[in-house]
Structure 1
């Protein structure tokens, strides 16, 4: 397995859910991303252009979560993964979208969906 860059706990306000009040009122979502790629070129050169810029990674995910509403967090996670994997240096990406305020009438800590996308 190649090297990886991990971004955890990115908190973004979004309007995703199947219920009208979720789209109307919105809520906070939490995103974790793991991107697999060879970091040897960046380590050897100390050059930011040789790696995945994690600030840009965070902004990409934030733009998707804060953008167009989806019914399912599966769709949100899949869209983030597909966009991140457009970087041809990556061999795979894993995205977890947490919905800690999901409308479940029971006591729970978190609901999350994780998608994994890789090169064929």
Structure 2
């Protein structure tokens, strides 16, 4: 399992117009189930390059506008499955700058995709 925790990415997503206009930060927690080739060979070419994963997540956020963090998480998970040699992607998106009438640390949505 490959994990990236706490990746902060700015974006212009949200159900409210003010969120889409001002932008805010989103925090990604990623789990990828990769093939064992990299474990056996100890070569970067045989596994998933974290730098490329981060770049893909940033691209999905930069090139799209989502009303829901669920849709953002799903789009990232789909892109990860499509791009990398993985069998499973689990994407959690946290939204720390929540506009609710109650104090909360964050809201989050988690989406999991498996290769068919």
1:38, distance to aligned residue in structure 2 (A): 2.1
How far apart, in 2, do the equivalents of 1:19 and 1:86 lie? 30
| TM-score after normalising by structure 2 | 0.93
- Residues 91-110 of structure 1 aligned to structure 2 (within 5 Å): 91-110=87-106
1:46 is the counterpart of 2:42? yes
Secondary structure in 1 aligned to 2:71? helix
Q: Which consecutive residues of structure 2, in runs of 5 or more, have no partner in the other structure?
A: none
| TM-score after normalising by structure 1 | 0.90
Select 2:28's aligned residue among 22, 28, 31: 31
Q: For residue 5 of structure 2, what is the aligned residue in structure 1?
A: 8
CA deviation string 1:41-74 (max 9, x = no partner): 2122222110000111011111212332111111
Identify if the C-alpha distance between structure 1 residues 62 and 90 changes in structure 2 by more than 3 Å, giving closer, same or farther: same
RMSD of aligned C-alpha atoms?
Answer: 1.3
